[in-house]
Amino acid sequence: MSLCTTCHLLLRGHYGSEWRGTFDLRFRHHATRQDLQNSARLGCGICQIVFREVSRIDARDSKGRLVRELRGQIRRVASGKWESDPQEPLLRVGISRVPDISGIYSMEFRTTQSERVGTFVLNPVDNSTRRLRTTYATSTDSDEVFQLARDWLKQCTKFHHNCRVAHNTWYPRRLINIGTAFVHKSPDKKVYLVLTDPENKEGNNPSITGPYLTLSHCWGKSKPLRLHRGNVTEFTRGILIDQLPKTFRDAMQFTARLGIRYIWIDSLCIVQDDEIDWLHQSAQMDRVYSNSYCNLSATCATDSDQGLFTTREPYELWETDANLNTEGIPGRLMSLKDVVSRVKGVSDPVERCSVLDISFWERMVDKAPVNLRAWVLQERLLAPRILHFCQGQIAWECAELDAAESFPDGLTNFQLSAGAIVDGGRLKSLVPEIDGKRLRETRLKLPKGKPDPQPHLIPDIYTYELWKHVVEAYSTTALTKPGDKLIALSGIAKVMAGMLSARYVVGMWNTEHLASQLLWRVNEKYERGAFSYLSERPKEYRAPSFSWVAVDAETGITYGEVLDQENLLMEVTEVHVELKSRDDFGLVKSGFLDLTGRLRRIEMVELDQVTRYGWRLAKPSLPGSQRLFTNVYLDAPRSDTDIFEPGANLYCMPAAWSQRKNSSSKDLICLLLQQLDGNNYKRIGLAKVSAYDRGQNDVLSLIGDEPMLPPRPVTRTVRII
């Protein structure tokens, strides 16, 4: 796609440059929202992305925007500028080199209120080796798009060593036989439910051969056609394709075009009103998806009636390139060619770069409707390859390649982490020594070549890093039935169990590092200057409170990182889980964990809308006079409302020392517990006491302020249920 004049002049000639008191490159962009909108309508690839984000923020935060504008007027009055500055731009742009990733640059857009509305990676290209693809088709159901999908499939199955090709010695219990239903002028317009188990007497038993596909889709509010006990025989006799929702028809038609006869769709292949069958089939998800040839994903559809295919403007998929003047970009190292050119006065250093919206993959794939479903995460992870039908284009995902029509040869999944651009890696690549290592180095921000701070934990630490990544992604997804939270993760948990050779315990692993894994926390949401906790407990029991599975958090959780034993201040002495079935990865009836450590009685305090919550040590002799700690992460304050009431029986257990990045100082991590009855406790949250807070000594000291403990430092074993 092309660039508007404003973007072109800014990148090529540094037009609109501003001095902001530092040597960073800062520029003025469009002056008004209307200018930005006009540029987006005319096809500027950069302005389209930025305008979409500005519009999203405006729609989400109209009230907050008015408040910010009022604050801006107040600042102008205070500075003597009574009138709005007619030259004040809508947006400002910063350009810099991306540290730790060789040769690329970033272009960041912010509003005048410093809210980020777009980040782009500028990656120098070599047109002599780059393959450019011109898209002409106006719909993703075209022959052009189908051919690209076949090319990806061929490349993956023939040349990708890390991508499995199932030889189909195992099949799901039921499949849909497409037959000739989608052959032109075929008299048989039915598809058939087939039973692959020869011992099963429910229906026909054809000889099953060849590969099968699977489908990921959103059920939506309109429930799709479903298999139930009353229509099994009817389905084996045939289902008219006109009775199927559009997404199912599209998926079957695409399967037939590939020359494949069978497809597995959950609502048609699991008896939905038979709990025994549902539990049995759900426990087989790891095999269902890992043995498939390819998974088709209705990625952008919110229900089964929308279908796989969408229309688009083909030119919007063309590459966006720019000539970048790299003169003065902070952190850029001059090459010998640059030095010679400068001495001769020949030209400015200019590089031809491709422009990549850093949110592209997240917007098109990760945060698309189907991938917000909890069940779909393990479908993505377990299937050997996935063809995503996104809004306006298709995308590809396997262990060795992430690609889209806009980037047919692949693209790097850049992400923002704490404001910095990092290589987010591929979700489907789960090789501990490669992907786990990369995730760990990125999270710890280890410079290239610097050794791991815990070399004695290698290589197991890399597998834990993969599990941490999976859990954190999974915890942000949604379930129609909250009780499915363990089942919907069971497939990938089985795969991970093979890597760790460890016993699975309600979303964690019963190893010497179990105590570290207990230090998970719910992520708070920070918006409009205030923190909020969008988490709650399910109405029906799902897991013991020591596990992250016990809460639903819209913003997700941060999984506990593995700590050295010398940093732990507590010890797990026993853990027990009673399951509802023989499946070690399935639903849970009850469970407990015995934990030995120090206890301090505390009080929870509700604060203002900015900080929200705090806690303090409870000393009967000095009521209300204790230090207030505000670095607290409550598990489910929406559900645990009684923790703020008098007599809530709350305790703090110092749990571990956490090494601060780039510092020898250590934070104190504490578990927050509520006594229920006798020696039974419920976890209610996690807290951190900063290394720079003198209150660490208060928390660690036992001076007889609790009637249940003698006046000397002791430990106590409590049971968390």
> Is 621's pLDDT higher than 60?
no
Calpha distance 407→402 (Å, rounded) = 9
Q: What is the pLDDT of residues 285-310, one digit of tens each?
A: 999 999 999 999 999 999 999 999 99
> Is 57's pLDDT higher than 90?
no
Residues 462 and 440: beta-carbon distance below 8 Å: yes
Whether the pTM exceeds 0.75: the reply is: yes
Q: What is the pLDDT of residues 213-230, one digit of tens each?
A: 999 999 887 778 899 999
DSSP 367-382: TSGGGGBHHHHHHHHH
Helix axes 374-382, 460-474, angle to 10 degrees: 140
Tokens of 537: 């407990």
Q: Which residues neighbour 498 within 8 Å (Cβ) at sequence distance 6 or greater?
A: none
The per-residue pLDDT for 117 is 92
Percent of the chain predicted with pLDDT > 70: 87
Percent of the chain predicted with pLDDT > 90: 63
Q: What is the pLDDT of residues 538-564, one digit of tens each?
A: 999 999 999 999 999 999 999 999 999
Calpha distance 489→487 (Å, rounded) = 5
> Is 333's pLDDT higher than 60?
no
Calpha distance 223→268 (Å, rounded) = 12
The per-residue pLDDT for 255 is 97
The ranges assigned to domains in the chain are 5-124, 161-312+361-422, 503-720
The per-residue pLDDT for 202 is 46
Residues 291 and 166: beta-carbon distance below 8 Å: yes
The per-residue pLDDT for 555 is 92
Calpha distance 106→24 (Å, rounded) = 12
* Mean pLDDT of the region 587-597: 96
Tokens of 530: 């205030």
Whether omega for the bond prior to residue 245 falls within 30 degrees of 0, making it cis, is: no
β strands within 13-79, DSSP E: 17-18, 25-28
- Reduced to 3 states (helix: H, G, I; strand: E, B; else coil), residue 395 is strand
Tokens 């590939």: give the residue. Answer: 258
* Mean pLDDT of the region 691-702: 80
Which runs of consecutive H residues, i.e. helices, occur in 79-224? 143-159
Q: What is the pLDDT of residues 624-667, one digit of tens each?
A: 447 889 999 999 999 999 999 988 999 999 999 986 555 567 89
Which runs of consecutive H residues, i.e. helices, occur in 223-373? 232-236, 246-257, 266-269, 275-282, 285-290, 336-344, 360-361
The phi, psi pair for 407, rounded to 5°, reads -135, 70
Q: What is the pLDDT of residues 426-472, one digit of tens each?
A: 888 888 998 999 899 888 888 777 899 899 999 999 999 999 999 99
Q: What is the pLDDT of residues 493-538, one digit of tens each?
A: 999 999 998 999 999 999 999 999 999 999 988 776 677 888 999 9
The per-residue pLDDT for 658 is 87
